[in-house]
Amino acid sequence: MEMLAASGNLSATDIYKNFKATPPAISQHLKVLREAKLVRVERRAQKRIYYINPKPMQELENWIKQFTAEMQERHDVLEELLRQEKLKLEATKKEKT
């Protein structure tokens, strides 16, 4: 994905050359990316040219942003609860002394 993002598009052969794995192994990875619709493939004569499919990537980015915001909100609520509990404990300790 990083190579495709950097170059815009690559042939399957160009992708294979960048890995120590066998072409069939890389082909299986590319198949998974195609089935997940993260990449598009275009046939040019005997070559297969791969591109990043931007729409699913944008959807994934939006989901990650939303998820991160929700987790941050939960973290903030928890942090506030812990702060309040700490204040209660400190107040209890002062009353006992």
**62-89, pLDDT tens digit by residue?**
999 999 999 999 999 999 999 999 999 9
Separation between Cα atoms, residue 33 and residue 56, nearest integer Å: 11
Same domain, 96 and 70: yes
| Amino acid, res. 93 | K
Same domain, 12 and 46: yes
Which tokens belong to 27? 């082909």
Same domain, 41 and 70: no
Contact between 7 and 27 under an 8 Å Cβ cutoff? The reply is no
| Amino acid, res. 74 | R
Taking only the tens place, the pLDDT of each residue in 28-54 is 999 999 999 999 999 999 999 999 999
Separation between Cα atoms, residue 18 and residue 65, nearest integer Å: 31
pTM across the whole model: 0.65
Same domain, 41 and 15: yes
Which tokens belong to 11? 């042939």
Contact between 85 and 38 under an 8 Å Cβ cutoff? The reply is no
Number of domains observed in the structure of the chain: 2
